[in-house]
Amino acid sequence: MEKSYVKLNISSIPAGLAERVVLELRRREERKEKTRAAMFGTIAFAALAALVPALENVGAAATRSGFSRYASLVFSDWNALAGMWKLFAFSLAETAPLFAMTILAAALFVFIWSAAEAFRYVRAARISFN
């Protein structure tokens, strides 16, 4: 079987080339980590900004559907709810603003995920904010 590689003669490599290659690879990796940290940081900021209108939307949808009135019964008249808990549970489920809650949960998930990724890449790139 014929060898498909050529034996490398160490004496033919210029002095300092290996160090320059390693330094360039480290520089590129650090630049990639900084870029990813900035990207995930931007996504986290956008998701955080989206949380405010999503929360307002959940509140408005809960008021429109009557969910907030049913939910307030938990704090005001517990004894009346104990006897009719099945009807109360179905009323809550029927009036829950599920679409608005899903949007809020998605924005919260994206914020937490992207913030965690941003912090991970900030740590990996050893970025200091001094």
pLDDT at 71 (0 to 100)? 84
- Nearest CA to 114 among 25, 44, 30? 44
pLDDT at 123 (0 to 100)? 86
d(CA 96, CA 100): 9
SS3 content of the chain, % helix, strand, coil (to 5): 80, 0, 20
- Nearest CA to 101 among 74, 64, 75, 62? 62
The token pair that represents 55 in the structure block: 């929360």
Residue carrying structure tokens 């210029």? 14
Contact 37/125 with Cβ under 8 angstroms?
A: yes
pLDDT at 48 (0 to 100)? 96
pLDDT at 35 (0 to 100)? 92
How much is the CA Rg of the chain, to the nearest whole Å? 29
pLDDT beneath 50: ranges in the chain: 1
Q: What angle do CA 74, 78, 83 make, to 5 degrees?
A: 115
